[in-house]
Amino acid sequence: MGIMIALPPIDQLVDFIPTVHYGDHTQVSPSSTAETRSGSAGSADSVQRSASGSPIGGALHLSSVLPAVTDALGAPVTTAVHHDPAALRQALGMPTASRALVVLVDGMGFWNLVDRVGHAPYLRGLLKDSANARPIATCAPSTTVAAMGTFGTGTCPGLTGMAGYTQLNPQTGQISQLIQFRNALKPDDLQREPTVFERLAARGVRATSVGLSKFANSPLTQASLHGSTYVKADRPAAIVQRTLESLREPGLTYLYLRDVDKVGHSLGWTGDEWGGALEHVDDMLGQISRQAPRGTLIVIVADHGMVNANPAQRIDVAQEPTLMQGVHLIGGEPRSLMLYLNDDAHPGDVAARWRERLGSHALIRTRDEALAQGLYGPVSEHVLPMLGQVSVCVNDGYTLVDSSTQTAVAMSLPSVHGSQTRMEMEIPCLIDVD
Ligand SMILES: [Zn+2]
């Protein structure tokens, strides 16, 4: 019989975890659990408590997955943050294979999955394998745009320039939205790292991406997946069929599945509809697993998890002049803000006012503090101005909204993500080989 994964108490899952570090290591460095968070009353204590879990990162990170797969395929690709694909493959427990399928299920956090695993017989079977019974970490912020760039390039938001749902466009001085690249730089101006797909293709290895027709030419696809051959598939039967067709030839197939995230945002991850979306995903992946050529390496990951927003813990920054003092623009998302300051504002002063107001419910860092902690990984010069001078993450069911710029719907999403909690940052990396 397999291992049963115990669901930790929810208050632990929605509390802050230590900052996740980038690299090829499998051991957590002592510094990551001994970070000083001077000036943020209460959070030092909460970090110590959550550190009794297992802090993860290094090789156990979303950025490691594709480099590890390239090693499994016998064509190891290194990246700006990962120099040892073989070590990553070993840490993640991947065998070698002539063909691999990597599936990214948007919004299917490790603990969201464990909690609702009754809806997912195929994935439940995989979780019983002890090698799969542990989460890996996604990037910070724990959100789609940042994670897609991190995943596709095997690097980090500090290098891809994809650091939030919205962020400053330094060329226009305005906020850009990076799901559709509204008001944003062109994808190749913003995201300058090679993708793992293009590096594989350059070595003569097949690299195929299966996804919705509407995303085939999207800027987000261009930024994070360029170099792969995009195969359009919209209905579940077509997704299964196109994926299996691509696997007839050795190489890499990547499949992106969106609905778990979409249903989570609109109806909440604890609802019946989310369970239904998970069932559909499980059904498709189970079919693919049963019909894929023998020896196909299947790896199933996610970009982030989700927490339920508590309406009683919603803070509207537009109603809080003390918080807005010195703040010119706000980027990010409800669980993770980036504050862009007026020229005459001091980041330390702004951070102090937010800490005073939010106490133990927020993890607040000036940009200098965030860089020193490696929050975004290494940061390139062209990305630095895109990162807010102060970042604010919230725990529990808190959200930070802005009624001066956001719609009522956007301010009251039932489930959200972006912050540095286990629920949001811990994702599955399930490996299936037969
Ligand atoms: Zn997502």
The CATH number assigned to the domain holding 234 equals 3.40.720.10
Q: What is the pLDDT of residues 278-302, one digit of tens each?
A: 999 999 999 999 999 999 999 999 9
Q: What is the rounded (10 degree) CA torsion for 204, 294, 303, 386? A: 0
Q: How far is the CA of 326 from the centre of ligand 1 (A)?
A: 31
pLDDT of residue 26: 86
Tell me 62's DSSP state. Answer: H
**Shared domain check, 378 and 298:** no
Q: What is the pLDDT of residues 209-255, one digit of tens each?
A: 999 999 999 999 999 999 999 999 999 999 999 999 999 999 999 99
Q: How far is the CA of 354 from the centre of ligand 1 (A)?
A: 27
Q: How far is the CA of 112 from the centre of ligand 1 (A)?
A: 13
**Shared domain check, 168 and 86:** yes
Q: Could you give the CA distance from residue 318 to residue 431 in angstroms, rounded to a whole number?
A: 45
Strands (E), 97-250: 99-105, 136-137, 166-169, 174-177, 207-211, 229-232
Residue 131 token pair: 């090698």
Q: How far is the CA of 150 from the centre of ligand 1 (A)?
A: 12
Q: How far is the CA of 176 from the centre of ligand 1 (A)?
A: 18
**Shared domain check, 121 and 163:** yes
**Shared domain check, 387 and 374:** yes
**Shared domain check, 322 and 240:** no
Q: How far is the CA of 105 from the centre of ligand 1 (A)?
A: 8
Q: How far is the CA of 164 from the centre of ligand 1 (A)?
A: 11
**Shared domain check, 349 and 250:** no
Q: How far is the CA of 143 from the centre of ligand 1 (A)?
A: 6
- Residue 22 falls inside a structural domain: no
Q: How far is the CA of 36 from the centre of ligand 1 (A)?
A: 30
- Residue 359 falls inside a structural domain: yes
Long-range contacts (CB closer than 8 Å, 24 or more residues apart) made by 9-14: 11/396, 12/49, 12/50, 12/53, 12/422, 13/111, 13/307, 13/421, 13/422, 13/423, 14/307, 14/395, 14/396, 14/397, 14/421, 14/422, 14/423
**Shared domain check, 238 and 126:** yes
**Shared domain check, 162 and 280:** yes
Amino acid symbol at 371: L
Residue labelled with tokens 């990551």: 32
Q: How far is the CA of 102 from the centre of ligand 1 (A)?
A: 16
**Shared domain check, 282 and 337:** no
Q: How far is the CA of 12 from the centre of ligand 1 (A)?
A: 22
Q: How far is the CA of 307 from the centre of ligand 1 (A)?
A: 13
pLDDT of residue 3: 60
Q: How far is the CA of 303 from the centre of ligand 1 (A)?
A: 5
**Shared domain check, 344 and 257:** no
Q: How far is the CA of 320 from the centre of ligand 1 (A)?
A: 29
Q: How far is the CA of 3 from the centre of ligand 1 (A)?
A: 28
- Residue 347 falls inside a structural domain: yes
Q: What does the DSSP assignment read for 89-116?
A: HHHHTPPP-SEEEEEEETT--HHHHHHT
Which CATH number does the domain housing residue 333 bear?
3.30.1360.180
Give the closest residue to 371 by CA, choosing from 161, 158, 59: 158
Q: How far is the CA of 247 from the centre of ligand 1 (A)?
A: 25
Is 69 within 8 Å of 93 (Cβ atoms)? no
Strands (E), 196-250: 207-211, 229-232
Q: How far is the CA of 325 from the centre of ligand 1 (A)?
A: 31
Any idea how long the chain is? 434
Give the closest residue to 205 by CA, choosing from 224, 229, 241: 229
- Residue 45 falls inside a structural domain: no
Q: How far is the CA of 353 from the centre of ligand 1 (A)?
A: 31
**Which residues in the chain come in under a pLDDT of 70?**
1-3, 27-55
Residue 93: which domain range?
62-174+181-308+421-432
Number of domains in the chain: 2
**Shared domain check, 245 and 104:** yes
Helix segments in 247-377, DSSP class H: 259-267, 272-291, 321-324, 347-358, 367-373
Q: How far is the CA of 1 from the centre of ligand 1 (A)?
A: 33
- Residue 42 falls inside a structural domain: no
Q: How far is the CA of 106 from the centre of ligand 1 (A)?
A: 4
Is 156 within 8 Å of 22 (Cβ atoms)? yes
Residue 17 token pair: 């975890």
Is 55 within 8 Å of 20 (Cβ atoms)? yes
- Residue 15 falls inside a structural domain: no
Query: Cα 304–306–311 angle (5° rounding)?
Result: 145
**Shared domain check, 243 and 101:** yes
pLDDT of residue 28: 52
